Structure 1
Amino acid sequence: MTENTFPVYKVDAIVTFFRTEVLTGQEAKHFTKNDLAPSPKPDAVQRLYMRILQLLYRFKPECHYMVPFSENIQHPQLHEWPTAVMSVYLRMRQFLRMCYVYDFSLNDLLAPKVKRTVTILSGIMNYLHFRKQRLDMTMGHQERFREDMDKLQAYSRGTKEAQKKMDKLTTIPPEQQAEARELDSALSDLQTNTMHQYQEVNAINENIAEWKTEMAEKSQKLTQLKVDVATLKENIGKLKSQIVESPEEMKIQMEKMKENVKNIKLAIETADERLVGLQSDVQGVTQSEADIQLIFKLLQDLQSSMNKTQQHQEEAQALVCVYEAQQKELKNHGVEEGQLKRSLGMKMDKESKQHIRRQKKKEIKDQHIEDVLGQCDHVHQKREQIADQIQERDRETQHLRSQITNLRDTCSQETEKAQDLFDRLLAALDHFHKRIQNHVVEGNDDIVKMTANF
């Protein structure tokens, strides 16, 4: 007790703490500083220890007064007070080891001192502070564990619901399976047809591009021919002004002009033929464009259906992502649960070790209690022997008292008789004394007479 591992509090702090944390009702009101200082009251200290044991072990004060012996005991009312004191002493000795107080004795209950009582109560106060902190921590851990369990249950319900939705989205009902197969086959046919039509459209577009280039070239040539015709007409006008009226030259020029005109007409005819061919090609292209537009509408419808299916797939993927996230959270919670289980296992191991230590201590204490009970039994046997001797002595004293009363009666009777005899003797002696005095007086008178005669 010289070197404590806990602070020694003041008496006022101890009184306020135990009034607020341990005692209740009238006991808290009546518990004051005078119960501990300057001279602690044994009844108040014992009552306080009983309330501390009730707070820690749920051991009510009435249970301390129960006699723990199984056999019948003579005069059980004589054991009530020492039974309560011994019960409080044994349990406080067991408890105060956890408070690092190892030298608790019976004098701390029967004749407590101020310094010892303040030190013991300071150790108990320190342990109760530690107990309150640990209870708050365990309550916080329990609340967090409950919240995690609620989250885990909510996540498991969400995952189950998402799994059900995914099953509903992925599984096709039996009445729609035939239709789904037909739609799948039609969709595959449409995809193949659209691929062929895309290829044909690409080929037609390439042909149209080639034709457009050819038409551009032909139009350029046609414009060039028109320019040439215009230039020729200008040249003809110029030549007409410069014509020499020589018929031979005129004929030669006219023939040249006719040949040129024929060539131009042939070129125009060929251009017209090509133009008609190009117009027919353009009509075919417009018709093909109409067909392509129809195919494009069909493709748009197919694209909308594909978009819907894509949306369903995206929803399914989102649900899968949510499911994976919840699975990860579930794994995290499982890891946390494993950690909590490991910590719980470590705590259980510690508790089991502490339980084994407590069992060993309990066995030692039980052995000590058995020894004490054996000593108590031996004391009770001696007490019974002494009680028998006391009863015999009581009988003897009663017999002696009866003899004494009888003797007193006989003595009183004899004293009365002796008193009577004494009174009679006194009366006789007085009578004899009077007679002797008379005889002496008479003798003196006779002597005087005789002396007078002599």
Structure 2
Amino acid sequence: MSEITFPVHNVDVIVNFYRTEVLTAQEAKHLSASDLSPTPKPEAVQTLYMRVLYLLYRFRPECHFMVPPEENLQYPEYHEGASAIMSIYMCMRQFLPVCLVYDFSLSDLTAPKKQRTLTVLSAIMNFLHFRKQRMEVMSEKNAKLRGDMDRLQAYNKSNLEAEKKIEMLMTIPPEQKAEADELAAALSELEATTVHEYQESNVINESIKDWKTKIAEKNQKLAQMKVDVSNLKEEITKLKSQIVESPEELKSQMEKMRENVRHIKNSIKETDERVVELQNMVQSEMHTEAEMQQMYNLLQDLESSMNTTKQKQEEYQELTIQLEKMQKELKNLCNEEGQLKRALAMKLDKESKQNIRRQMKREMKDQHVQDVLGQCNQIHQKREEMADKIQEITRETQQLKAKTQSLRDICNKETEKAQGLFDRLSASLQDLHRRIEMQLEDLKQDILKVPANV
């Protein structure tokens, strides 16, 4: 004990700890500081060691006083007191190296010393603190593992329910198969009609744009004609003041002007009717734009579902990491159990009764290890099932990506078509502007000719 790696506590601290954590009932009440200092009592020290062994290994204190029945002793009652001390000594020799105390002797039980007993008790106290912390950590990990297992079971149940629902939705009963075929045929007809209507709507949109340009041109012409008419009226009034015309010529000119006004009114009515038709066409076009917006919203929903699948994959990776950690801890526990079994095998020949009890403990531990290994196998099976489900999810995501890519290709084609239509419309507009300019020049020439004729 020259180099101690744990703190040596005072007598009061040790007494309080063993009263609260190790001893029970009357033993905790009777233990006092006088039992350990200035000269520790062997009976008190032996009871403390027996209670520590019972707390750790569940080895009852009365079992230390039993003499092995297989040994042929002439007077077994003389060996009862020594057998208890030797049993405690052998058990403490096996246990104290775990507490980093390697030089435990028989005199520490029969004639204990103050400093020596305080160091041993403080070493056991340090080990019990460490054991308590590890047990808390293991309980937290077990709680987390149980929660994760519950989540896995819930996910498996939800996946099974979803698969059943998918199967129910995908399978068509024979009674409804004819109706499903009829619906499929109707859907194909509807798709064909929608494609045809979409083409017609494109043609109508083009015609609407053409009519809009024509209407704008006619409005410009009407405005120009009104300005010209007002100018001509002013000139006519000026000329009337200078020249006296015949009434017949005036009547003929008035009739011509009335006919021109009638023609202009008829053209305005026709343009109004055409504007109403164009408004109806524009409303149908707005309806198609709303349908396209719905398709865009569906694509956004698909992206959100992809994000949820990624989050589930991350959670599965975290669970696999936790399983690997638990497997490593199980391996360490198995190694420690193997070491304990080897140490117990060396003492089987000397203590037959202890051999029987240790054999029972071994069987219990083996059963526990088998249960743990069975749970690990179940976890591995569930992990494989989760891996298969993740592969199915990845396949579904790939299918969704392919669908989105096809939809993008269709959108690109439609944009190319729209760009071609736009180019055509721009070219037609340029031609219309040229024609308008030519007609304006003709109108100017006609206006110049009118005063000459007058």
Aligned to 2:271: 282
Q: Contact 1:99–1:127 at 8 Å: present in 2 too? A: yes
Q: 1:334 aligns with which of 306, 316, 320?
A: 316
- Once residues 112 and 145 of structure 1 are traced to their aligned partners in structure 2, the CA distance between those partners, rounded to angstroms, is 46
Aligned to 1:109: 109
Q: Contact 2:68–2:351 at 8 Å: present in 1 too? A: no
Aligned to 1:51: 51
- Once residues 141 and 308 of structure 1 are traced to their aligned partners in structure 2, the CA distance between those partners, rounded to angstroms, is 47
SS at match of 1:104: coil
Q: Contact 1:39–1:114 at 8 Å: present in 2 too? A: yes
Identify if the C-alpha distance between structure 1 residues 227 and 28 changes in structure 2 by more than 3 Å, giving closer, same or farther.
same
Aligned to 2:4: 4
Deviation track 1:367-388 (CA, whole Å, cap 9, x = no partner) reads 6769xx9xxxxxxxxxxxxxxx
* C-alpha deviation, 1:319, in angstroms: 6.8
* C-alpha deviation, 1:103, in angstroms: 1.6
- Once residues 226 and 325 of structure 2 are traced to their aligned partners in structure 1, the CA distance between those partners, rounded to angstroms, is 97
Q: Which one-letter code corresponds to 1:11 in the other structure? A: V
- Once residues 116 and 212 of structure 2 are traced to their aligned partners in structure 1, the CA distance between those partners, rounded to angstroms, is 115
Q: Contact 1:20–1:28 at 8 Å: present in 2 too? A: yes
Q: Which one-letter code corresponds to 1:12 in the other structure? A: D
| Percentage of identical aligned residues | 33
Identify if the C-alpha distance between structure 1 residues 183 and 132 changes in structure 2 by more than 3 Å, giving closer, same or farther.
same
Identify if the C-alpha distance between structure 1 residues 367 and 169 changes in structure 2 by more than 3 Å, giving closer, same or farther.
same
Aligned to 1:220: 224
- Once residues 164 and 47 of structure 1 are traced to their aligned partners in structure 2, the CA distance between those partners, rounded to angstroms, is 64
Q: 1:203 aligns with which of 201, 204, 207?
A: 207
Deviation track 1:96-142 (CA, whole Å, cap 9, x = no partner) reads 11111112122221222222222211211111122122222222222
- Once residues 216 and 319 of structure 2 are traced to their aligned partners in structure 1, the CA distance between those partners, rounded to angstroms, is 75
Q: Contact 1:99–1:124 at 8 Å: present in 2 too? A: yes
Give the superposed CA RMSD. Answer: 4.0
Identify if the C-alpha distance between structure 1 residues 336 and 367 changes in structure 2 by more than 3 Å, giving closer, same or farther.
farther
Moved more, 353-362 or 269-278: 269-278
Q: Contact 1:208–1:285 at 8 Å: present in 2 too? A: no
Q: Which one-letter code corresponds to 2:200 in the other structure? A: H
Does residue 1:344 correspond to 2:326, yes or no? Answer: yes
Q: 1:231 aligns with which of 235, 247, 252?
A: 235
- Once residues 232 and 62 of structure 1 are traced to their aligned partners in structure 2, the CA distance between those partners, rounded to angstroms, is 141
Normalising to structure 1: TM-score of the pair? 0.64
Q: Which one-letter code corresponds to 1:129 in the other structure? A: H
Identify if the C-alpha distance between structure 1 residues 229 and 309 changes in structure 2 by more than 3 Å, giving closer, same or farther.
closer
* C-alpha deviation, 1:315, in angstroms: 8.8
Q: Contact 2:41–2:112 at 8 Å: present in 1 too? A: yes
Aligned to 1:401: none
Q: 2:196 aligns with which of 177, 192, 196?
A: 192
Moved more, 55-64 or 8-17: 8-17
- Once residues 184 and 309 of structure 1 are traced to their aligned partners in structure 2, the CA distance between those partners, rounded to angstroms, is 19
- 1:114-193 matches, within 5 Å, as 114-154=114-154, 177=180, 178-179=182-183, 181-183=185-187, 185-193=189-197
How many residue pairs get aligned? The number is 349
- Once residues 118 and 45 of structure 1 are traced to their aligned partners in structure 2, the CA distance between those partners, rounded to angstroms, is 10
* C-alpha deviation, 1:21, in angstroms: 0.8
Q: Contact 2:7–2:122 at 8 Å: present in 1 too? A: yes
Aligned to 2:343: 361
* C-alpha deviation, 1:73, in angstroms: 4.2
Unmatched tracts of structure 2, length 5 or more: 356-454
- 1:377-392 matches, within 5 Å, as none
- Once residues 219 and 286 of structure 2 are traced to their aligned partners in structure 1, the CA distance between those partners, rounded to angstroms, is 33
* C-alpha deviation, 1:223, in angstroms: 4.4
- Once residues 32 and 237 of structure 2 are traced to their aligned partners in structure 1, the CA distance between those partners, rounded to angstroms, is 141
- Once residues 221 and 296 of structure 2 are traced to their aligned partners in structure 1, the CA distance between those partners, rounded to angstroms, is 47
- 1:241-280 matches, within 5 Å, as 268=257, 271=260, 274-275=263-264, 278-279=267-268
Q: Contact 1:64–1:83 at 8 Å: present in 2 too? A: yes
Q: Contact 2:65–2:81 at 8 Å: present in 1 too? A: yes
Identify if the C-alpha distance between structure 1 residues 7 and 222 changes in structure 2 by more than 3 Å, giving closer, same or farther.
closer
- Once residues 337 and 128 of structure 1 are traced to their aligned partners in structure 2, the CA distance between those partners, rounded to angstroms, is 31
Does residue 1:320 correspond to 2:302, yes or no? Answer: no
- Once residues 171 and 299 of structure 1 are traced to their aligned partners in structure 2, the CA distance between those partners, rounded to angstroms, is 38
* C-alpha deviation, 1:148, in angstroms: 3.6
Deviation track 1:263-294 (CA, whole Å, cap 9, x = no partner) reads x56964773575366256336515634xx62x
Deviation track 1:206-261 (CA, whole Å, cap 9, x = no partner) reads 23531442354145335423532442233232345xxxxxxxxxxxxx69x98898
- 1:401-420 matches, within 5 Å, as none
Q: Which one-letter code corresponds to 1:342 in the other structure? A: E
Moved more, 199-208 or 9-18: 199-208
- Once residues 207 and 305 of structure 1 are traced to their aligned partners in structure 2, the CA distance between those partners, rounded to angstroms, is 26
Q: Which one-letter code corresponds to 1:206 in the other structure? A: D
Q: Which one-letter code corresponds to 1:320 in the other structure? A: S
Identify if the C-alpha distance between structure 1 residues 279 and 9 changes in structure 2 by more than 3 Å, giving closer, same or farther.
closer
Does residue 1:95 correspond to 2:95, yes or no? Answer: yes
Q: Contact 2:51–2:61 at 8 Å: present in 1 too? A: yes
- Once residues 140 and 240 of structure 2 are traced to their aligned partners in structure 1, the CA distance between those partners, rounded to angstroms, is 115
SS at match of 1:46: helix
Unmatched tracts of structure 1, length 5 or more: 241-253, 374-454
Identify if the C-alpha distance between structure 1 residues 66 and 335 changes in structure 2 by more than 3 Å, giving closer, same or farther.
farther
- Once residues 127 and 341 of structure 1 are traced to their aligned partners in structure 2, the CA distance between those partners, rounded to angstroms, is 28
Deviation track 1:157-181 (CA, whole Å, cap 9, x = no partner) reads 5666677788889999956644365
Q: Contact 1:155–1:330 at 8 Å: present in 2 too? A: no
Select the structure of larger CA radius of gyration.
1
Q: Which one-letter code corresponds to 1:83 in the other structure? A: S
* C-alpha deviation, 1:20, in angstroms: 1.0
Deviation track 1:396-415 (CA, whole Å, cap 9, x = no partner) reads xxxxxxxxxxxxxxxxxxxx
- Once residues 12 and 309 of structure 1 are traced to their aligned partners in structure 2, the CA distance between those partners, rounded to angstroms, is 78
